[in-house]
A and B are shown apart, each in its own frame.
Chain A
Amino acid sequence: MSKTRFPLRAALAGTAAVVTLAAPAMAAEELNALIWCDHADADLLKPFEDAHDVRVNTKEYEGTAAGLAILDQSQPGDWDVMVIDAVDVGRAVERGVFAPLDPAEFPMGDYFPELTLDSHNSVDGTTYAVTEKFGYNTIAFNKAKVDEADMEDMGSLWSGKYDGKIAIYDYYLPVMGLVGLSQGVATKDLSAANLETLRDPLYKLKAASRQVSDVVASQTALATGEVDVLIGGGEWLTAVLHSENPDLDWTIPKQGALLWAQSIAVLKDSQNPDLAKEFVKYIVSPEGQARLATSSCYWGMPVNKKAGEVLDDSQKAVLRWDQQADYLSRAQLYPVPDADLDAEMQSMWTDMLQQ
């Protein structure tokens, strides 16, 4: 059987027409951003809009495939900037949707060195995105309900002590990465050959858990006392709840944690590439970084260290600003599976959910 690429774009042509009609009107003073929910915060966007006399139209998406599908269904030029999981920048570059960026135009010297992530943001020596925010997928918990010392060792999650009081964050990359760490498998070493070693502990973790839930459901479960421990959680989940319940906390256990990072890129077909680049510059500036770090949707560490001059002490305390050197030394980057390993990981995750 001959293999031909399925004309996905053509197949979605009808939808494209609808999306085109619904897409924000293009105008010189408008910027269209395909984003995660933290960028929809008016406090983040307004200073840029005021400074450049521009309106930033945003569309939120979840999951890289969904974001890329939106691009597929849009007319070239509909979108100017895109926020993307740092591990998936390469996927977007493969599709030829990002414009090259000159790293010299961005304050890379002010970045936490671990977060420039050239390995993720560059392909064949060309930079296509810059990291803008990071944090940890680790263990979040209610310290009024658990023994904090237990949270320093992932082994306690399998001990039976917290059975029925655990929730698992519903994203297989970080959680399987964490389970790998618990089994002594570094994220960079995760492969088809050793993936099966994760199956048994993953199933046992599911058996000990009450639920596997997305961001909002996880926050709700932790906030309402439905669960006391969230595997895969971190500052991004507990920080926005901190003022309501200071007992919600997180830590990095001795086995380590996963480092998540999000990047921002300019779309190759942007009608307004200069303004798009200005937006990226604003996002990675100290002021933009501080606002993004404390976005109403979720918090996360700024990649630009100079944001520390803008954040106040209480914000930095919630973000654990002073412990970052230690945390960064103990965190590992997400696994970056190729397509086949990705499929196997998702398949194992599905099997786990159906246990």
Chain B
Amino acid sequence: MSIEQAERRRASALVAPALLWTLAFFVLPFAGMVWLSLGHLEGREVVAGPGPENYVRIFTDPSFLKGIRVSLEITLVVTVISVVLAWPLAWIIAMRVPQRWQRLALMLAVLPFWTSYVVRSYSWALVLGANGVVMQALIGAGIIDEPVQIMATRTATVIGFVHFFVMLLTLTIYSNLVQLSPNYARAAADLGASGWQVIRLVILPLTLPGVMTGAFLTFVLCIGDYITPQILGGNNELTLPQLIMLQLGRRGDFPMASALSVVLMALVTLAYAASARWLKMDRV
């Protein structure tokens, strides 16, 4: 056996556990879910397909179409706002905070991850409510006379999401920023670039892998999240995960829930395809 063959076998042996794991716990269940999505409920029994009924309904029923649209709108808004807020924060931590304080700054940045996701959402419900801190502060400051409804709106959902995802993006962008050699900025400054030009033309493009990786993770986690829109959105419009739960709760319409999950998966795949050229995980 040549050295190359032996190396290949060794590599295969090393990769095999991960491949088997993925096959057993992702590929096979996913294939099962796709197959289930082609079935339908007859009475209360799940009947095997294959048939396109569920997908036809998803793309023709206005309520389901709205679910897809609402999910995409919320996810895109959250992703953009989170990137806009996280980049300067990461830059300040990486470039302006003295190195000995950076660890503390990062720890403060990830503090929201330490609390339960559900508890955090309910906390936002109390903060954003008509009698919550925000409204009472605005009324106390004389800015508004009556509470403005934020709780149980899309705005509340977006705020809850952004609070969480800014932290995630800050980490991915920060880890990208600290890998950059300071010589890039120095060279640009030597060639006459202003501070703003250095950031805009040199630093920002070089952090694109970190931004895109964080943005993609934000997209995936946000579009698949059930808790935040359920607690903060007040069910005034349903996202895809909420529609999926609705199929399961009482009637147990597993085929329709599976079809909606496949659509959700397809949206994530499209997002990956759109951002794949920038996703350089090794740079993050």
Contacts and interface: CB of A to CB of B under 8 A. Distances in A.
Contact of A226 (B130, B231, B251): B130
A109 to B, nearest CB: 33
Interface in A294-344: 338-340, 342-343
A6 B47 contact: yes
Given A65-B248, A210-B152, A220-B122, A8 B254 contact: yes
The interface size bin for chain B is 35 or more
A338 B25 CA distance: 36
Nearest to B132: A224
Contacts of B62: 351, 354
B195 interface: no
A63 B32 contact: no
Given A211-B152, A213-B235, A220-B122, A226 B246 contact: no
Nearest to A168: B235
A213 B129 CA distance: 14
B277 interface: no
A66 B248 contact: yes
Contact of A5 (B36, B46, B235): B46
A6 B248 contact: no
A63 to B, nearest CB: 4
Contact of B250 (A1, A164, A342, A350): A342
A331 B238 CA distance: 31
A15 to B, nearest CB: 8
B249 A212 contact: no
Contacts, number: 125
B25 to A, nearest CB: 8
Interface in B195-240: 230-231, 234-238
B44 A91 contact: yes
A25 interface: no
Chain A interface mostly = helix
Contact of A212 (B29, B122, B235, B253): B235
Contacts of A349: 246
B246 A346 contact: yes
B129 A224 contact: yes
Interface string B247-260: 01111111100000
B284 interface: no
A1 B235 contact: no
Interface string A55-70: 0000000111110110
B190 interface: no
A171 B251 CA distance: 12
Contact of B45 (A5, A63, A170): A5
Contacts of B51: 1
Given A68-B252, A226-B151, A350-B238, A14 B24 contact: yes
A200 interface: no
Contacts of A339: 41, 43-44, 251
Contacts of B47: 3-6
A353 interface: yes
A346 B243 CA distance: 11
Nearest to B44: A339
Contacts of B238: 350, 353-354
B149 interface: yes
A289 B65 CA distance: 47
A353 B243 CA distance: 10
B63 interface: yes
B81 interface: no
Contact of A64 (B36, B42, B151, B250): B250
Contacts of B249: 62-63, 65-66
Most chain A beta carbons < 10 A, residue from B28, B249, B254: B249
B276 to A, nearest CB: 30
11 contacts: A1-B51, A6-B255, A62-B249, A64-B250, A64-B252, A65-B248, A69-B252, A91-B44, A211-B236, A338-B43, A350-B243
Given A64-B250, A212-B234, A217-B125, 5 more contacts: A1-B51, A6-B36, A6-B45, A350-B63, A354-B238
Top 8 closest pairs, chain A to chain B, by CB: A65-B252, A211-B234, A63-B249, A212-B235, A211-B152, A6-B48, A6-B46, A354-B63
Interface of B: 24-25, 28-29, 32, 35-36, 39, 41-48, 51, 62-63, 66-67, 122, 125-126, 129-132, 149, 151-152, 230-231, 234-238, 243, 246, 248-255
